A and B are shown apart, each in its own frame.
Chain A
Amino acid sequence: MSPLATLFRSSIGRKFLMALSGIVLVAFAIGHLVGNLQIFSHPDKLNGYAEFLHHTGPMLWAVRVVMLTCLGVHVWAATVLTLENKRARGGQAYAAGKSWLRAPFASRYIRLTGYVVLAFVLYHLAHFTLGITDPADFKGAHAYVMQQDYAVMGLPVVAAGTQVDNVYLMVYRGFESVPVSLFYIVAVGLLSLHLLHGIDSLFQTLGLRSQTWAGALRKVVALICLLYFIGNLAIPGAILTGALAPHPAADVRGTAATAQTSPASAQVAQHD
């Protein structure tokens, strides 16, 4: 059997694919959060960042294809492995009930948290990438004029004066809705729980975990997951509680109605 066939057909091969796709997804999730935390800065930052990402051309699509492939592989491997596991256990359950001996809490619910995370990813894409759930505030609906250059690693990539999509406004409006914010908070909480077992587990699957540092690994993973949750909680949490006051430059409360009908008037309004 070729190595590729082995990866897709054998038990350990599929687990290996699960771990590899997991690494890519975790790296993305953390990078995505770090980028989004720019909402706590001037709207130039988040809007410039979004404009920059949208104009990376084929790179953007390459990343999207890789991400969707990894998500597909991760879900496929999870489904196949779970079905095999259920078959292996057989129809007869233990009458005395299954009492856990040492399985970590997060591991017991990894499949259930996975379902919620998948639903959340689909909703999140519909909300902020495709603009299906909230078209009135979707990025193209409002315009924003960059007040300063946006630079990546010292290189200015979006010049001051450029008219860009108002992603800051879209995110702000999105999280002003209590049910939406609460769903985000619950979902990222469960995602953090998913990662608590997932990250720890991938080291075991790749054969990189051993008793000598298993304890330290567990603590580091727990810290990463906690920070990830706090970071994700901060954005909807700050908007919902009013701790993050809307930046006047992003025209959060002002002339949204006119902005929707005419991006040009929004531009004028922002300069007022």
Chain B
Amino acid sequence: MAADTTPTSSKNISVTLQIWRQAAADQPGKFVEYKATNCNPNMSFLEMLDVVNDDLERRGEDPIAFAHDCREGICGTCSLVIDGKPHGPHEGIASCQTYMRSFEDGAVITVEPYRAKPFPVIKDLITDRSAFDKIQQAGGFISIRTGAAQDANALPIPKQDADLAMDAAACIGCGACVAACKNASAMLFVSAKVSQFALLPQGQPERDTRVLNMVAKMDELGFGNCTNQYECSAACPKLISHDFIGRMNRDYIAATFRAACKDKAAGADGGA
């Protein structure tokens, strides 16, 4: 896992921010300049925005709206495009764990929301990413009666498969992949969600319907198509590999042909 290895610093810095302000989804937006002066270099980018907002509120102005929640890189809520790169300058780091020490004193920093048709701007830097929820609802789960937890070794899973499934499951659904892709493709997200189950025995019964339904929903919601440039995985704060996209492609084609040949039980539409 990559980490922000910029050394901590004690010298306070001042930066100029060019921030996208948009009152509502149906309102036109524009960039507005703000100064963030005397910032502690070890404060996070979001904390810097908090300070700027405190100042705006004191002056009776509308604070800058930005999405945030856990601030420890695991919830996938923060979603800033900083100087043209989703989540800012570092690899494998979410916006919330980007620190001011990563910027030069006097830097001009452009902060924008994700730009993608399926992620419309709600306000300022906040986009509506419920399209991801809709894709999840189309198949990103397993239908199983969980009951009491069974013995850990009851279902043997090779370590390699378990590790790979965990790599896929590391996706926090932040949408940086869509924001970074020139085609606004959601294939890295969908492939991670498909693969985390496809690699495990519990995911097998719904494996085919899952990939078919999730891809169909992704297409329906207007996401673009992958052109294999792998900008998505470079921007991903969890460094999800684009290999999962290849895996999903393989699964999807196989599922398409399997679905066409599948026998259907005579009583499939009735009940016992």
How far is the CB of B64 from the nearest CB of chain A, in Å? 16
**A-side contacts of B20, CB under 8 Å:** 95
- Does A138 make an interface contact (CB < 8 A)? no
Of all chain A residues, which has the CB nearest B82? A96
- Residue contact B224 to A85, C-beta cutoff 8 Å: yes
B218-262 CB mask vs A (1 if < 8 Å, else 0) is 110011111111110011000001110111111111001101100
**How many Å lie between the Cα of A87 and that of B182 in the bound state?**
11
- Residue contact B251 to A207, C-beta cutoff 8 Å: yes
- Does B185 make an interface contact (CB < 8 A)? yes
- Residue contact A89 to B117, C-beta cutoff 8 Å: yes
**B-side contacts of A260, CB under 8 Å:** none
Among A92-117, those with CB < 8 Å from B are: 92-104, 107-108, 110
Among A15-50, those with CB < 8 Å from B are: 15-16
How far is the CB of A84 from the nearest CB of chain B, in Å? 6
**How many Å lie between the Cα of A209 and that of B248 in the bound state?**
12
Of all chain A residues, which has the CB nearest B184? A88
How far is the CB of B267 from the nearest CB of chain A, in Å? 24
- Does A205 make an interface contact (CB < 8 A)? yes
**A-side contacts of B241, CB under 8 Å:** 211
How far is the CB of B18 from the nearest CB of chain A, in Å? 7
- Does A147 make an interface contact (CB < 8 A)? no
- Residue contact B249 to A12, C-beta cutoff 8 Å: yes
- Residue contact A97 to B228, C-beta cutoff 8 Å: no
Knowing A12-B252, A101-B85 are in contact, say whether A95-B222 is a contact too (CB < 8 A): no
**A-side contacts of B183, CB under 8 Å:** 84-85, 88-89
**B-side contacts of A96, CB under 8 Å:** 81, 83-84, 110, 112
Residue from the list B110, B223, B229 in contact with A88, Cβ < 8 A = B223
- Does B180 make an interface contact (CB < 8 A)? yes
Judged by DSSP, the binding face of B is mixed
Residue from the list A15, A88, A200, A210 in contact with B222, Cβ < 8 A = A88
**A-side contacts of B243, CB under 8 Å:** 209-211, 214
In this complex, the interface size class of chain B, counting residues with CB under 8 Å from chain A, is 35 or more
How far is the CB of B73 from the nearest CB of chain A, in Å? 19
**B-side contacts of A131, CB under 8 Å:** none
- Residue contact A89 to B115, C-beta cutoff 8 Å: yes
**B-side contacts of A208, CB under 8 Å:** 246, 250
- Does A231 make an interface contact (CB < 8 A)? no
Residue from the list A10, A16, A101 in contact with B231, Cβ < 8 A = A101
Of all chain A residues, which has the CB nearest B120? A90
- Residue contact B253 to A93, C-beta cutoff 8 Å: no
Of all chain B residues, which has the CB nearest A89? B184
**How many Å lie between the Cα of A87 and that of B115 in the bound state?**
12
- Residue contact A87 to B246, C-beta cutoff 8 Å: no
**How many Å lie between the Cα of A7 and that of B212 in the bound state?**
12
- Does B215 make an interface contact (CB < 8 A)? yes
Among B1-53, those with CB < 8 Å from A are: 18, 20, 31
- Residue contact A99 to B84, C-beta cutoff 8 Å: yes
Residue from the list A10, A90, A95, A210 in contact with B112, Cβ < 8 A = A95
- Does A204 make an interface contact (CB < 8 A)? yes
**How many Å lie between the Cα of A203 and that of B242 in the bound state?**
13
Residue from the list B112, B222, B229, B252 in contact with A103, Cβ < 8 A = B229
**B-side contacts of A94, CB under 8 Å:** 81, 84, 112, 115
- Residue contact B253 to A16, C-beta cutoff 8 Å: yes
- Residue contact B227 to A88, C-beta cutoff 8 Å: no
Residue from the list A3, A197, A210 in contact with B228, Cβ < 8 A = A197
Please, could you name 18 A-B residue pairs with CB atoms under 8 Å apart, sorted by A? A11-B219, A85-B183, A85-B225, A89-B224, A90-B117, A95-B20, A95-B112, A96-B83, A96-B84, A99-B84, A103-B231, A107-B229, A108-B229, A204-B249, A205-B228, A205-B246, A206-B253, A210-B246
